[in-house]
Amino acid sequence: MDIKELIKNSPFYPVLILESIFSEYYRRLFIKISGSLLIILIAVAGFFSFSNLIYWAPKVWGVFFLGLAFYLAARMLEFYFNASYYFDNVALNRYQPGDFFTFTVGRVLLNVKDGDILRGFLLSPVGRQIIRRCGISDQATRDYLAKRPRGTYYKLPLSPDQVLKLRDLVKWLVTNDQDFSRWLAGFGINEAELIGAVGWVVYEIEYREYRKRWWSESNLSKLPGLAKDWGFGTTYYLDKYSWDLLYGLDYSSELHEYSTRSEEVFQVENILSKQKEANVFIVADTTSERMDIVWHLVRRIKYGETNAALEHKRPVLFNTAVFMAHFKDKASVESELLKILKESQAAGNIILVFDNFAGLFQGFAGLGSDFISLVYPFLVSNAIQIIGLAGTEDFHHLLESNASLMATFDRIFLRPLPDESIIRSLEQTVWAIEKEHKLFFTYPALLAIVKSANNYFVVSDSGDKAVDLLTEIIPWAEGRSYHVIGEDEVAELVRGKIGVPIGKIQPAERESLLNLEQNLHQRVIGQEEAVNQVSNALRRARAGIRNEARPIGSFLFLGPTGVGKTETSKALAEVMFGNEDKMIRLDMSEYQTTEAVAKLIGSSATGQSGILADLVREHPYGVLLLDEFEKTPPAVHDLFLQIFDEGYFSDKSGKKVNLRNLIIIATSNAAADLIWQMVRSGQAPQEKVDELIDYIVQRAILKPELLNRFDAVVVFHPLRADELNKIASLMLSKLAKRLNSQGIDLLIKDKLAETVARLGSNEVFGARPMQRFIQDKIEQPIANAIISGIVASGNTVDFDIDNTGQLTLVKK
């Protein structure tokens, strides 16, 4: 059946024809304009009727009646269209198998000329909207259509027992038309993103239509009635410390209309509807997560959507801080609380929401009062309902252990939201933002927001981070006069915020990545293979091959002491994150006992927070250096096994700590002896990595599975004499630079560098003692000379070296 025939046989045929003759857009425009004109005409006609220019009045009235006839006709058509289009199909999804396709698909097919379905889709209003949401401009679409090799003439996938929906049609198009999917791929759009954009556009259409139906029962019930609370009491004392949520602002905010936590809200509703002990703790990490549930409940009460038990209830937010600030002694705080509770009970419709239940509990304890025993009689009564909001840690620490509280309260722990729910809530929030700020978000931008929120701002498991990021984009984009927010703009914002290179590789970063070796070598002398290996691994990571659910990179640096392992880590922090302070260092030899894991991640038994958890939370982006990694017990190795695999660990209270934005470097001199042996026998240890790994595994220093998790095992060989000389020169030139700022020149002759290298290094510690040597033998004499006035600004300092290597300061 060809497409024209198909439309003709469809039950939507009459409405689709109406659409092709007089489209929805023009119809609505006509109604708007003609409606306004009619009002003007009434005024004009009235004026002429009462004025002396009576001759013109019939003409004006004539125009008025004609206009009225057209206006009414257009209105009737609009009613007809809405009824056929909306009532049965869009809103109630009452499609029947015989319909073949949905109304929206019908509209697309209506655009099809000569059987080219893709062209019809891309030129239809809904298709254009979808493609724009993918971040592709109308012009780009037109160019594509003009240059396209051939049209899509495949047979539509219609079946008599299935209704073809828009997403099915688009999916079919992208699967069957390779050229189309390649074109999309050119803009970085894959099938899933395209289908996501379809979902968003269709959702917007449905939502808009739903809102327009003011006469529907659910929309009518949103108007608050009169005299609803006349049968309930007033709360004089409670009002002093609280806020009536029904009159709060947030309930009507369109930004929050879509709650992603309907399941939890229903649970709260059911608990509060119980005959007695209708109390509930809402436990989550952030206030906004906890309040999100409360606001949703408030909205349902306000709009009369709750079950009968909660109808006409008045949820009141009790402000703990304001209340506690009023009292200094036990007697007054107790008597005020009792007044409030009795009054709330007498009022008969109060749902008391304690904003910080644990805080109140502690505040009372601080005044020597037992909050729980005061509240207990009210908790078991059926006249009052209580919602206690609490943070996860507070709940576990302060409230969970109280048996009477646990017996009278149900508990709801907010589960992490799936990405789909977060995206859905963003989709709705974006409409409001776009309307108000004249911005346009693409669907990939939304995905990027959710992904960035997950990967780069792991503080808690909430969709809040995503909404926060979205809200942050508004002023940021306006400040830069951006109108379209795509994936790249989101990456740019996040990059600026956290200082970690993400998104498209920027020119400066490209330069730095390509010259990574040279940049590292400015600080790291020798160790060519090690530097190359690390550079390649990081380039691989940045090229997008990196798994974002793992740390940016993880390396094991093997080698004797003082050969540049730490220096390489510092250099990496500087090159990759712009500052060597971006390196955090843990000396793992301090974590050798059985409590090591508890010390690192914290312990709920002692209540102590973990050192690793705190460090990483404070510095989530940069280089984490684990010195002498082999010295910690296997339990710590297992912890890092998980970190290398998943990029996070859970601290003592179960909160996730994110290490996905760190380069983790473990150093070890476990195989140092073998490395020395190899060097002495003339072998290059950096070429014998497997042998070194075998050595480590055989001696059970590190487990093979842990070794396999590292992106690279990098071997640092002992430094050769020429390398030591270079290091000495580098260190001396740093000192010379410092002296230079005081106007003193230091002459660095080759012999001086050689002497420093020879006497300042040894086999066991490599170049490590060199700094100390310079300090003792060079800096100290210069400092003495400056203080005693022998050397002053404008002088040059040199050192004589005798046969024993004794250094003598010479002023020139």
Q: What is the residue type of 291?
A: M
Provide the 8-state DSSP code for 385. Answer: E
**304 touches another protein (CB under 8 A):** yes
**61 touches another protein (CB under 8 A):** yes
Stretch that binds another protein, among 77-85, 97-105, 291-299, 775-783 (CB under 8 A): 77-85
Contacts from 735-744 at CB under 8 Å and sequence distance 24+?
735/774, 735/778, 735/779, 739/782, 739/797, 742/786, 742/793, 743/792, 743/793, 743/794, 744/782, 744/786, 744/791, 744/792, 744/793, 744/794, 744/795, 744/796, 744/797
Stretch that binds another protein, among 217-225, 584-592, 624-632, 646-654 (CB under 8 A): 217-225
What is the rounded CA–CA span in Å between residue 265 and residue 255? 18
- Our CA dihedral for 84, 90, 92, 97, rounded to 10 degrees, sits at 80
Classified as helix, coil or strand, 797 is strand
**564 touches another protein (CB under 8 A):** no
**18 touches another protein (CB under 8 A):** yes
Helices (H), 303-329: 320-325
Quick one: 73 or 321, whose CB is closer to another protein?
Answer: 73
**Position among 36, 221, 307, 579 found at the interface with another protein (CB under 8 A):** 221
Closest CA to 355 of 281, 246, 296, 415: 281
Quick one: 74 or 556, whose CB is closer to another protein?
Answer: 74
**248 touches another protein (CB under 8 A):** no
Stretch that binds another protein, among 70-78, 444-452, 461-469, 589-597 (CB under 8 A): 70-78
**Position among 76, 365, 514, 810 found at the interface with another protein (CB under 8 A):** 76
656-658 and 648-650: which strand pairing?
Answer: antiparallel
Q: Minimal distance in Å, beta carbon 643 to another protein?
A: 58
Provide the 8-state DSSP code for 380. Answer: S
**65 touches another protein (CB under 8 A):** yes
What is the rounded CA–CA span in Å between residue 317 and residue 95? 45
Strands (E), 211-348: 242-244, 279-283, 314-318
Quick one: 111 or 761, whose CB is closer to another protein?
Answer: 111
Quick one: 218 or 373, whose CB is closer to another protein?
Answer: 218
Quick one: 1 or 69, whose CB is closer to another protein?
Answer: 69
Sequence-separated (6 or more) residues with CB below 8 Å from residue 440: 132, 434, 483, 484, 485
Pull the structure tokens for residue 610. Answer: 């973990």
Q: Minimal distance in Å, beta carbon 127 to another protein?
A: 24
**Position among 1, 4, 9, 13 found at the interface with another protein (CB under 8 A):** 13
Size of the site for another protein (CB under 8 A): 47
By CB under 8 A, the residues from 101 to 160 that bind another protein are: none
Provide the 8-state DSSP code for 306. Answer: S
Q: Minimal distance in Å, beta carbon 464 to another protein?
A: 35
Residue 679: other Cβ atoms inside 10 A = 15
Q: Minimal distance in Å, beta carbon 205 to another protein?
A: 21
Sequence-separated (6 or more) residues with CB below 8 Å from residue 692: 558, 671, 674, 675, 685, 713, 715
Q: Minimal distance in Å, beta carbon 43 to another protein?
A: 17
**226 touches another protein (CB under 8 A):** yes
**215 touches another protein (CB under 8 A):** yes
**87 touches another protein (CB under 8 A):** yes
**231 touches another protein (CB under 8 A):** yes
Q: Minimal distance in Å, beta carbon 300 to another protein?
A: 16
**Position among 146, 227, 545, 700 found at the interface with another protein (CB under 8 A):** 227
Closest CA to 449 of 496, 486, 499, 500: 486
Q: Are 624 and 665 in contact (CB under 8 A)?
A: yes
**Position among 115, 188, 233, 499 found at the interface with another protein (CB under 8 A):** 233
**346 touches another protein (CB under 8 A):** yes
Stretch that binds another protein, among 71-79, 173-181, 439-447, 468-476 (CB under 8 A): 71-79
Classified as helix, coil or strand, 717 is coil
Quick one: 349 or 729, whose CB is closer to another protein?
Answer: 349
Q: Minimal distance in Å, beta carbon 293 to another protein?
A: 26
Classified as helix, coil or strand, 351 is strand
807-811 and 796-801: which strand pairing?
Answer: antiparallel
Quick one: 19 or 711, whose CB is closer to another protein?
Answer: 19
Q: Minimal distance in Å, beta carbon 227 to another protein?
A: 5
Stretch that binds another protein, among 219-227, 334-342, 681-689, 786-794 (CB under 8 A): 219-227
Q: Minimal distance in Å, beta carbon 202 to another protein?
A: 24
What is the rounded CA–CA span in Å between residue 91 and residue 689? 65
Reported as type and span, the H/E element at residue 649 is: strand 648-650
Quick one: 301 or 728, whose CB is closer to another protein?
Answer: 301
Quick one: 49 or 795, whose CB is closer to another protein?
Answer: 49
Quick one: 349 or 442, whose CB is closer to another protein?
Answer: 349
Quick one: 53 or 406, whose CB is closer to another protein?
Answer: 53
Q: Minimal distance in Å, beta carbon 430 to another protein?
A: 31
**308 touches another protein (CB under 8 A):** no
Reported as type and span, the H/E element at residue 573 is: helix 565-577
**339 touches another protein (CB under 8 A):** no
Stretch that binds another protein, among 209-217, 281-289, 640-648, 790-798 (CB under 8 A): 209-217
Output the CA angle 366-368-374, nearest 5 degrees: 105
What is the rounded CA–CA span in Å between residue 305 and residue 311? 8
Stretch that binds another protein, among 72-80, 194-202, 470-478, 646-654 (CB under 8 A): 72-80
- Our CA dihedral for 195, 197, 201, 203, rounded to 10 degrees, sits at 70
What is the rounded CA–CA span in Å between residue 196 and residue 180? 17
**786 touches another protein (CB under 8 A):** no
Q: Can you give the binding site for another protein, defined by CB under 8 A? A: 13-14, 17-18, 21, 58-59, 61-70, 72-73, 76-77, 79-80, 83-84, 87, 215-217, 220-221, 223, 225-234, 304, 312, 346-348
